[in-house]
Amino acid sequence: MQFTKAEEYGIFGVLYLAEKDRAVVTPLSEISKAQNIPEKFLAKIFQSLSKSGIIRSHRGVRGGFTLAKDPSEISVKEVLETIQGPYHLMKCLGDFKSCTMNKVDFCPLREILLIAEKRLVSVFDEYTLSDLVKWEKARTAAT
């Protein structure tokens, strides 16, 4: 399993905002440059995150973005699922009828993947942007 570029960029984009004071509006160009993310791609990702209420868009000369909620209220799962939709390790886990092996009645592989998926999603749900910021600060302080 690998994150898509959109998921990776989305997490690092909102993580950058989570490190800032929520009252500070941060231009997209600053986030893009600081996180080494193509600005146009980040704009598309941030459009989805804004529609879902994770971030807030501010227009005008001093426009940019802020988090819409406290970082401790935004789970990693919420960010990922806003960008890519519900998380599934295989397509058939979300839609059993899409099985390419014609194992619609029972599939032993599906059983273990369901267990793994539930655990993975619960980890994404358990940790927030605030946790990621704390880990990053601890790592920076240790070096």
| Cβ neighbours, 10 Å, residue 46 | 23
Domain ranges of the chain: 5-142
Q: Per residue of the chain (143 residues), what is the pLDDT tens digit?
A: 678 999 999 999 999 999 999 889 999 999 999 999 999 999 999 999 999 999 999 998 889 999 999 999 999 999 999 998 887 777 666 666 666 666 666 677 778 888 898 999 999 999 999 999 999 888 888 87
State whether residue 64 is helix, strand or coil.
Answer: strand
Burial class (CB in 10 A: 0-12, 13-18, 19+), 138: exposed
5-142 — its CATH code?
A: 1.10.10.10
Query: What's the whole-model pTM score?
Result: 0.86
